[in-house]
């Protein structure tokens, strides 16, 4: 039994809150103590997921009242993407540690406001990117860090998923610039955008095109392609779609002068190096067992909570050890900056250099779609 039990408050009781609750249920040093929602039915549905024996969470329709509760030490922000800022600021000001679902926010300025608030109030901040915690992606990162690829030459990712028109019609915030912050890139492919920059390093410049091809009544892109130049000299590509029926496995490929590897979903499906290592055999055996399960490719709920669990476990360890979490606010900001740069390139028709300048980001306001 854990010595210290952290109380979690969840802000927003939509679909993604389910994954936070299931993750917290499996952590011996955590429990959900409070829920905030303006929809009592949603709050009741999420409360019912809390594991028996971990107490009954209080339900609030007033955020300041919830944040005043001493039983709430960590706050998970599970509101729509463009509504992360205010509850995150309020939680930081109340002295609560803050976990924000991806994206951290929908512009770099809003991301910076959250980061600065958490730093100034002395609380920890994490951005949810559970894909970094899968064994396949950890193996890939370790191989890169060990120099097994030689000179990195190509790094690309593809998230060719499918979302129905009903998906976009089911929520007034979906497919809007103000609350979704973008389309296939900002909502679905952001996990792999984060993975690619984590694996390959900083992007130096990019050029992009976006389009809305398979859906009506949305402001944002359902199809996007970006060509990248990394600061280490390698080239790359990002492909993102919710327009590719029936939805394919998401993919990351890394290539270099002495190795190539591919991760599809959370399985390694290619692992070839000029100089083999003993651990390669276990990975090759795992390739033979790969399930090919296309989690999330066509069903938004077809994902696992295990990455959330592992990331929240790291976050609580970071609080206890007084260290930054593995994916803090500054790490979470990186994918938002890249996606905003893609939108700026698509809007302007220019190559955009990173770090993204305020002038380039001002090309595209949250409610101003690229043409």
CATH code of 132-299+335-353, in short, is: 3.30.360.10
Which pLDDT does position 304 carry in this prediction? 87
Could you tell me which residue, 12 or 365, shows the higher pLDDT? Answer: 12
In 10 A of CB 323, how many CB atoms? 12
Which pLDDT does position 371 carry in this prediction? 47
CA distance 218 to 235: 32
Domain parsing of the chain, residue ranges: 6-130+304-328, 132-299+335-353
Place 295 in a pLDDT band, splitting at 50, 70 and 90: low
Secondary element (H or E) of residue 13: none
Which pLDDT does position 327 carry in this prediction? 98
Place 93 in a pLDDT band, splitting at 50, 70 and 90: very high
CA distance 356 to 218: 26
Q: Which CATH class is domain 6-130+304-328?
A: alpha beta
What residues have CB less than 8 Å from 238, skipping those under 6 apart? 156, 157, 158, 185, 189, 192, 193, 196, 224, 225, 226, 228, 342
- Summarize the confidence of residues 252-263 as an average pLDDT: 98
CA distance 202 to 113: 22
CA distance 138 to 159: 19
What residues have CB less than 8 Å from 140, skipping those under 6 apart? 199, 252, 254, 261, 263, 268
Which pLDDT does position 364 carry in this prediction? 86
The number of CA neighbours under 13 Å toward the Cβ of 259 is: 22
CB 179 within 8 A of CB 81: yes
The greatest distance separating any two alpha carbons of the chain, rounded to the nearest whole angstrom, comes to 60
Two tokens, residue 182 = 């973008």
Two tokens, residue 325 = 């979490």
Which pLDDT does position 289 carry in this prediction? 82
264-293 tens-digit pLDDT: 998 999 999 999 999 999 999 889 887 666
134-193 tens-digit pLDDT: 999 999 999 999 999 999 999 999 999 999 999 999 878 899 999 999 999 999 999 999
What residues have CB less than 8 Å from 149, skipping those under 6 apart? 143, 254, 255, 256, 257, 258, 259, 260, 261, 273
Determine if the pTM surpasses 0.85. yes
Place 318 in a pLDDT band, splitting at 50, 70 and 90: very high
């Amino acid at each position: 039994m854990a010595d210290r039990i952290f109380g979690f408050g969840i802000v927003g009781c939509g679909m993604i809150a389910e994954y936070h609750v299931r993750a917290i249920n499996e952590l011996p040093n955590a429990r959900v103590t409070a829920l905030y929602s303006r929809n009592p039915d949603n709050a009741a549905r999420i409360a019912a997921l809390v594991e028996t024996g971990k107490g009954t969470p209080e339900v609030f329709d007033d955020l300041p009242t919830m944040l005043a509760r001493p039983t709430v030490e960590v706050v998970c922000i599970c509101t729509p993407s463009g509504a992360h800022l205010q509850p995150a600021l309020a939680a930081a000001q109340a002295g609560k540690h803050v976990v924000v679902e991806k994206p951290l926010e929908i512009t770099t300025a809003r991301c910076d406001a959250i980061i600065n608030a958490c730093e100034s109030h002395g609380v920890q901040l994490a951005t949810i990117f559970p894909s970094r915690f899968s064994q396949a992606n950890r193996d890939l990162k370790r191989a890169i860090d060990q120099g097994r690829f030689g000179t990195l030459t190509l790094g690309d990712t593809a998230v060719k998923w499918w979302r129905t028109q009903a998906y976009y019609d089911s929520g007034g915030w979906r497919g809007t610039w103000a609350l979704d912050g973008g389309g296939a890139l900002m909502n679905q492919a952001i996990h792999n955008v984060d993975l690619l920059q984590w694996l390959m390093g900083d992007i130096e410049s990019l050029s992009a095109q976006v389009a809305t091809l398979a859906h009506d009544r949305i402001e944002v892109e359902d199809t996007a392609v970006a060509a990248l130049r990394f600061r280490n000299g390698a080239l790359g590509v990002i492909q993102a779609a919710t327009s590719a029926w029936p939805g394919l496995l998401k993919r990351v490929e890394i290539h270099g002068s002495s190795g190539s590897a591919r991760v599809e979903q959370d399985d390694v499906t290619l692992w070839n190096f000029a100089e083999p290592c003993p651990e390669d055999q276990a990975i090759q055996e795992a390739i033979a067992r790969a399930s090919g399960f296309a989690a999330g490719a066509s069903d938004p709920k077809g994902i696992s909570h295990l990455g959330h669990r592992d990331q929240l476990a790291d976050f609580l360890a970071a609080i206890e050890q007084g260290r930054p979490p593995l994916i803090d606010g500054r790490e979470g900001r990186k994918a938002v900056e890249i996606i905003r740069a893609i939108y700026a390139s698509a809007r302007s028709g220019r190559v955009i250099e990173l770090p993204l300048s305020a002038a380039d980001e001002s090309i595209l306001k949250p409610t101003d779609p690229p043409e």
